[in-house]
Amino acid sequence: MKDFAGKIAVITGGGTGMGRALARQLIAEGCDVAMCDVSARNMAQSVSVCQAEAPQGVRVTSFQCDVSDQAQMVAFADHVRDSFDTSHINLLFNNAGIGGGGSFLQESREQWEKTFNVCWGGVYNGARAFMPMLVAGSEGHIVNTSSINGLWASTGPQSSHTAYSSAKFAVRGFTEALITDLRINAPHVQASVVFPGHVGTSIMLNTDVAGETSAAGARTLLRMMGHPVDDMSDEQVLALAEATGESFRDNAPTTAEEAATIILDGVKAERWRILIGRDAHVLDEQVRLTPEEAYEPEFVARWIGAREEQA
């Protein structure tokens, strides 16, 4: 797929970040886009931006749903068929994700499974709902977003990161397995897995923890990141969570727009493995270089040092 003009793309998590950036860039190339997001407010903002930028004749549609819910994703697929009066799509970007569920030992099953079910279940449900429409077209491409935590299941020796990392490894393994599956059963459809490093998105600001109030959920996320929040008030925790999320979004070495460009260039180049950011490339190299030492305390310092050397 060397260009996207006249194609139909489906994007999950289109309300912010890389999802919105992918939509804008695809629309600019003449691609019809259908987006979904769990946040009606964020989705409305994306639709407004995309419609304002869309060339004449390019169509944009949206659907509010939770990607972890199979029935809602099937309803999204029905919406795409009806809105575009089509039996096929060409591109599927399983992009939606949240953070949370750091410790398998310390956090509740509900907290852990919410993160896993969105970050992995959303990819699975998206593939199940839309694969028949990808296969029905003359050419197709499924793009699943993993993470550097699909290369390295950690954020460092001082914090737990099990639900998100487990989900992102599942996304990686599923996509790699799809390469052969598609080659045998639908050779006109290709698959890519994306490994973003630190990209400027609103993932931390958009994340809620299952079964907890806003302050309790923020406390869980900050504790997962190693912040000493146990003695802080709810107001202090919420303020720190907002500041941390804004800093993550605004001070990232790679913008969402840059990440979207890398992904779309990777699709055009038919690359199945798409790493985003110097941090992702260096981490991949370091894990491959010393896999037995990847979870030792010294590994993080070695990774940071190698990243700075290559800067």
- Do 168 and 301 belong to one domain? no
- Do 260 and 293 belong to one domain? no
**Would you say 272 and 193 are in contact if contact means Cβ atoms under 8 Å apart?**
yes
Distance between CA 174 and CA 120 in Å, rounded? 10
Distance between CA 169 and CA 153 in Å, rounded? 8
- Do 263 and 301 belong to one domain? no
- Do 271 and 295 belong to one domain? no
- Do 39 and 90 belong to one domain? yes
Q: What end-to-end distance do the CA atoms of the chain give, in Å?
A: 32
Across residues 294-304, what is the average pLDDT?
A: 91
**pLDDT for the residue 244:** 67
- Do 13 and 146 belong to one domain? yes
- Phi and psi based region of residue 226 (left: phi greater than 0; alpha: psi -120 to 50; beta: remaining): left
- Answer whether residue 249 is part of any domain: no
Sole residue written with tokens 């197709």: 140
Q: Give the range of the structural domain holding residue 301, as residue numbers without chain letter.
A: 279-311
- Answer whether residue 219 is part of any domain: no
Which residue type sits at 121? G
- Answer whether residue 63 is part of any domain: yes
Q: List the catalytic residues.
A: 164
- The least confident of 8-17, 52-61, 200-209 is 200-209
206: pLDDT strictly greater than 60: no
**Domains contained in the chain, number:** 2
- Answer whether residue 199 is part of any domain: yes
- Do 133 and 91 belong to one domain? yes
207: pLDDT strictly greater than 60: no
**pLDDT for the residue 212:** 43
Q: What sections of the chain are H helices per DSSP?
A: 17-28, 40-53, 70-84, 109-119, 121-136, 162-185, 203-206, 214-224, 234-250, 256-268, 278-289, 297-310
pLDDT-above-70 percentage for the chain:
88
b/e burial code for range 45-55 (CB count within 10 A of at least 16 → b) = ebbeebeeebe
- Do 268 and 284 belong to one domain? no
- Do 69 and 107 belong to one domain? yes
- Do 35 and 138 belong to one domain? yes
Q: What is the CATH number of the domain that holds 152?
A: 3.40.50.720
pTM over the 0.75 mark: yes
- Answer whether residue 245 is part of any domain: no
- Do 102 and 207 belong to one domain? yes
- Answer whether residue 296 is part of any domain: yes
Cα distances from 89 to residues 9, 14, 38, 114, 291, in angstroms, run 6, 17, 22, 29, 39
pLDDT in tens, 132-159: 999 999 999 999 999 999 999 998 888 8
- Do 84 and 114 belong to one domain? yes
How wide is the angle at C-alpha 212 spanned by C-alphas 209 and 213, nearest 5°? Answer: 110
